[in-house]
Amino acid sequence: MFIEPPPIDEKKIYSWLLKLQERLIQDDLKGSATWDAASIADGDEEAKAVTVTGAVLGDYAEASLSIDIIDLVLNAQVTAADTVTCVLANNTGGAIDLDSATVYVRVFRRTT
């Protein structure tokens, strides 16, 4: 990805930042899947693989869920080509059983 350096003129910096943001959004990769996690006991985790075409090991990943995760921790990472693994971890002190939801994943390409 090639982006010209920021302008020196302060009036043009805002325009440059908007262009940069647009370019970054265009370059990210997205995926989603339905996730009906089982009841997760305290100290346990549940994982879900989501296909994100173009993702490679070393890319940055983030995830969100379409429902409240009730103090669970949601994590995402690229674990194989075209695959992001999302993990719900429960450290709440009790079991949590979420409703079925959609997990959304976004991958940002590693630039170096």
What is the pLDDT at residue 95?
Answer: 97
One-letter identity of residue 35? W
The token pair at 11 is: 């009036």
The 10s digit of each residue's pLDDT in 82-97 is 999 999 999 999 999 9
Residue 1: name the closest of 25, 31, 35, 37 by CA: 25
What is the pLDDT at residue 6?
Answer: 64
Contact 111, 1 (CB under 8 A): yes
Contact 46, 38 (CB under 8 A): yes
CA-to-CA distance for 63 and 30, rounded, in angstroms?
10
Rounded to two decimals, the pTM is 0.77
Q: What ranges do the domains of the chain cover?
A: 29-108
